[in-house]
Structure 1
């Protein structure tokens, strides 16, 4: 496999949508030189009324503390998108840089969908790192532009020393049964067409990069089987 600077990948379930049995999740990547990279941050501490379907569990800050980390130990927050269940604790990581697709950040500025978490994701420009399309952030960690769920959504490809390539689809493909080329035609629905295009892009990537593990963003059955913090993939 290609050279990687990534050492470990931790998975955290930080909340849920109980009615639908959907896990709310985020991830921590640790590098060989000691950097801590958080991928998403889960739900806000106080969930607004319009998002009452969500329920907090052991939040990201508590989970990081269980392996000896504080918010100040996080060097980078990779923000896949600004939905309330993915960007709800961003503001806690005051020493971090925030990595997000430029197209998403620009759209969010005037999109009411992301207003509930604006105080979390609207960080000082000096701490934002806006990327355009697929980007190798560091050896072993690649951001994959996968618009559809929202404009400028990004998935993440992680290369681990022993496990090999792991694809985090996030909300581009939230459930395993959607990871297929056999979707029906979408009859001009631009959002659905974008979702399909991103799904095909990730399927092609999984084949091309010999991905050993695909982790879907909200698949409860899969998450029951996965290693979760304090366990990890290496």
Structure 2
């Protein structure tokens, strides 16, 4: 099993990466999130309200193509959540099964999920195959989904047990930065919806990482660009 980090643009103005993750096992190719919409590449040059600085070729489908991975090669897409910078290219992977927390899917398709609306046509399609899960779930041997609500209802993180690197916890937006690793003192960011759940999920993930001696990869930590290995490099 190996893990590759795909950095698909940067959040303005803090320069924090927008990640997706490719997990390759002997039995399946798993993509965690699909990044900001590919058709928004270059939009930051003319639209001052564009939140993500995405250059042509930095979208997730293009990054996968550079690794020799075609959309049809992806078996499973794990949706940490359906915010636009995480679900902007779901439509490219029509042959995959999309794994999402049941609570999050119900919220996202309701009026309460209007914040996901700009890319709804990418993830809410008649031919989309969803696998709705409830709470902490083993996805595949060595890959666990960890319910971590607060940023949005039904957010999920991913724990991967790599043979040489050891456990890696993809916290996603439950812990977006290393400055948010302290459950009691962490900032609550503007897009976090429920402070109590944010703090409870932070504690849950930090306790899990400590118990597993896991590397925590925070979702939008600026130093990830320099401190972590980006694809084509990998963790195994």
Match of residue 225 from structure 1: 227
Match of residue 64 from structure 2: 64
Q: In structure 2, how many angstroms separate the alpha carbons of the residues matched to 1:92 and 1:184?
A: 36
Query: Cα RMSD between the aligned structures?
Result: 2.1
The residue matched to 1:218 in structure 2 has which SS? coil
TM-score (norm 1): 0.90
Q: In structure 2, how many angstroms separate the alpha carbons of the residues matched to 1:218 and 1:53?
A: 13
Q: In structure 2, how many angstroms separate the alpha carbons of the residues matched to 1:10 and 1:184?
A: 28
> Is 1:93 matched with 2:93?
yes
The residue matched to 1:220 in structure 2 has which SS? coil
Match of residue 124 from structure 2: 122
The 1:190–1:123 alpha-carbon spacing in structure 2 relative to 1, beyond 3 Å, is closer
2:5–2:19 CA contact under 8 A, matched in 1: yes
Q: In structure 2, how many angstroms separate the alpha carbons of the residues matched to 1:216 and 1:177?
A: 10
Which portions of structure 1, spanning 4 or more consecutive aligned residues, are displaced by more than 2 angstroms? 45-51, 123-126
Match of residue 38 from structure 1: 31
Q: In structure 1, how many angstroms separate the alpha carbons of the residues matched to 2:231 and 2:187?
A: 39
Match of residue 140 from structure 1: 142
TM-score (norm 2): 0.89
Q: In structure 1, how many angstroms separate the alpha carbons of the residues matched to 2:5 and 2:49?
A: 23
Q: How do 1:206-221 residues align onto structure 2 when only pairs under 5 Å count?
A: 206-211=209-214, 213-221=215-223
Q: In structure 1, how many angstroms separate the alpha carbons of the residues matched to 2:16 and 2:187?
A: 26
> Is 1:73 matched with 2:73?
yes
Unaligned runs of 5+ in 1: 1-6
Q: In structure 2, how many angstroms separate the alpha carbons of the residues matched to 1:123 and 1:179?
A: 36
> Is 1:177 matched with 2:170?
no
State how many pairs are aligned: 224
Match of residue 153 from structure 1: 155
> Is 1:54 matched with 2:52?
yes
